[in-house]
Amino acid sequence: MNLAVRIQHHPSRAERIPQILAALEDFDDVEVITDPGADTKPDHWRSHRACLEAMPDDAEHLFVMQDDVLPSATLHARVAHALERYPEGVLLAFVPGFPRERRLQMLANAAGHHFYAFTVGAYVPTVAIIYPRAVVDGLLHWADNTNGDRHRRPLRGADDGILAHYCRVRRIRPFALVPCAVEHDHTAESIGKAMRRGSHRRAALL
């Protein structure tokens, strides 16, 4: 499994890092990527992009996870199985518990399926996401050249919204793992804004 793990990190959550690293000890290449503009206005795409840019040249896949995840004990095995099944796919180790996603997770799980195709709408969840190299390279190139103006302002804002835009343009359909392979710690404060707590901040199914 030639995969690199990069943790999308904000310094305000430094106390969370030891626990996450301990949960990822089965992975060979794990690195914490601190938001390069953490002392300025929060920008989730900036910190996500820093993880994409930190993909090593010899890796075939990149697993980006936020620093408020709670990895399951079977995460390594689940990831290996997912990469064997969909080596060229974008894989979602977490989807939020919105009613649609919870229903799809439960239906797929009841049928004995380990994956389902995620419908790209306004967002693609980036809490814990695995990219093949081709998508990392394509996403970075598109982000820099999407309107043909080399001098335009760089993309900013929600990483899940920017990724969704790219997936729609390139007609990429991610695959969600069933059940989710990580939980999102809904008690952690969101970076940059107050976030309403609820099922949408928890995994659809574990």
What fold is seen in the domain 3-201? Spore Coat Polysaccharide Biosynthesis Protein SpsA; Chain A (3.90.550)
- What residue spans define the domains of the chain? 3-201
- Which residues, listed in sequence order, are joined to residue 92 by a DSSP beta bridge? 129, 176
pTM listed for this prediction: 0.92
Sheet holding 128-132, edge to edge: 29-34, 3-9, 61-66, 128-132, 91-92, 175-177, 115-117
pLDDT averaged over 10-residue windows placed end to end, the chain, 206 residues: 96 93 97 92 92 98 97 96 98 96 97 97 96 97 72 71 94 98 81 61 92
pLDDT score at 111: 98
> What pLDDT score was predicted for residue 180?
98
How far lies 115's CA from each of 64, 91, 100, 123, 136, in Å?
Answer: 19, 9, 15, 18, 21
